[in-house]
Amino acid sequence: MRRRNRRKNRMRKHCEKKCYLGPLSAKERNEKAFTIRYEAAEDQRNAHLSRPVCNGDEWLYPKKIANFSKGLPHNSLGEVDMNSYNRYIKALNSGKVSDFNSIPMGGPVKLSNPQAAYALDLIGSDSHKMNLAVPPTFSSAWQAGEMAEVYWQALTRDVSFSEYSRNPLTKAAAAELSRLSDFRGPKSNGEVTTETLFRGNTPGDLAGPYISQFLWKDIPFGAKTITQQYRTTLPDSYHLTSYDAWLNIQNGGSSEAPKYDLKSRYIRNGRDLSAYVHQDFSYQGPLSACLILLSFGKEAIAQTNPYMNSATEGGFVTFGAAHILDLVAKVTRAALEAAWCQKFLIHRRLRPEEFGGRVHNHLTGETCYPFHKELLESQVVQQTFKQFGTYLLPMAYPEGCPTHPAYPAGHACLAGAGATVLKAFFNENFHIPNPVEANSDGLSLIPYGDTPLTIGGELNKLASNIALGRDTAGVHWRSDGIEGLKLGETVAIEILKDYSKTYNERFCGFTLTKFDGTTITIK
């Protein structure tokens, strides 16, 4: 019996040795995996920690007029009940479920997942180690410029992007934003023009049509092709322009249903873009772009891909479709974790919707707030009152903004992260084949042939479209989007850095162009 058992053991070990191939034994591989994990953790633990800084408005204004409070109870001016706000701050500071459950709410609408701000991730950098630039203060010229822009974006929602150069409203918007002392949108020769109006600040944003090719071109989806015509809302649909409706929504009240167009359309104006970023799932834009890019063939793949010149292999699980699709999804959730940390635990910035209520109550003499005079004297504020009878910001969505603070924009963070991954895997200089643009009614696409459009530029534009589309809806500020893109980019870079050490292929690192125009290699 013992002799037979010894023979079986010898046979088993022999079979194990024969069946398991590879340059490393199981034990050696286990040690290598541990070393990579340990060194990545050590790098993260030893990384420089900088102290997060807010703009100080929460401490400057005792009534918290510059901070997000939607969903909590408010007085007739839309100013938050301080007992409720203090309980909210106590819960954020303690992280205790019991403290969150005891926050007095103003109505049935709930806060949007504040406990996500405490989530830990095991790849990339911890969300609490990433910092943002300090956002504008309530009374600054910078804030006045951002509010004037979102008013203009609301009033021009129904203007086709192809008609910006000749429409009186977009001409007036460009002229007024040019006159503001601290407006930080893109300019041409120091002036906002109808060609730069409401666009992003990244390389490629000013090239070609306003909308990225990745929001217009057909999407290959397995055995099906998805045409990018989307449900939109009816022209002249504006919400929260009456004071009672606005105050009800601030208190967490319910809202009416949106009124939809019977026809689906290609995105051709701000209203359509607002509708897209209202109903999209988290990484829909980057995922769609990835599927389109994969259909362009080998020439669209980054030269750093280790399989570009292989005579016997092609990428799939690594450096192929499965790899890229996985990372596009993975980085966007991590980017939202970083956004939620900034939103709830650091900045708690109010939304444009709330700011519009402050403007209305100030200009109607109900109270007095320290606005910058450039906003109060602006043409767009008076134009809003003339059209709607209030100074409230006309919202694209019946429910107004989400119930989480403004800074940074979650859509911008996930778009920035997704675009960064795609720039790492694809050739940014590749020209998009057969570019298109929507006609003025959004029912068809027509060829666009004025200037070549590159993958890198159109990915940047996609990210900006998603970020600034939320401004067009009235739910975010320009700085929410611009800084959100950068935060998402940082999240993606840190994750790519961790993964770059896990591949067997002879790989020299991911090379990409950042949103600020600099080129980096991630190893």
Question: Smallest Cα–Cα separation from 143: which of 370, 392, 372?
Answer: 372
Query: How far is residue 406's CA from residue 351's CA, in Å, rounded to a whole number?
Result: 5
**Cis peptide leading into residue 352 (ω within 30°):** no
Contact 462, 484 (CB under 8 A): no
Query: How far is residue 279's CA from residue 259's CA, in Å, rounded to a whole number?
Result: 14
| Three-class DSSP category at 56 | coil
Task: Please name every residue paired with 436 in a beta bridge, in sequence order, or none if there are none.
Answer: 447
CA-based torsion, 319, 323, 325, 328: positive or negative: negative
Q: Which residues contact 51 (CB under 8 A, 6 or more apart)?
A: none
Query: How far is residue 469's CA from residue 232's CA, in Å, rounded to a whole number?
Result: 13
Q: Which residues contact 386 (CB under 8 A, 6 or more apart)?
A: none
- What does residue 513 show for φ and ψ, rounded to 5 degrees? -100, 125
Contact 488, 412 (CB under 8 A): yes
Question: Which residues are tagged catalytic?
Answer: 404, 411
Q: Which residues contact 243 (CB under 8 A, 6 or more apart)?
A: 360, 390, 392
Question: Smallest Cα–Cα separation from 333: which of 488, 164, 166, 108?
Answer: 488
Query: How far is residue 199's CA from residue 461's CA, in Å, rounded to a whole number?
Result: 8
Contact 359, 391 (CB under 8 A): yes
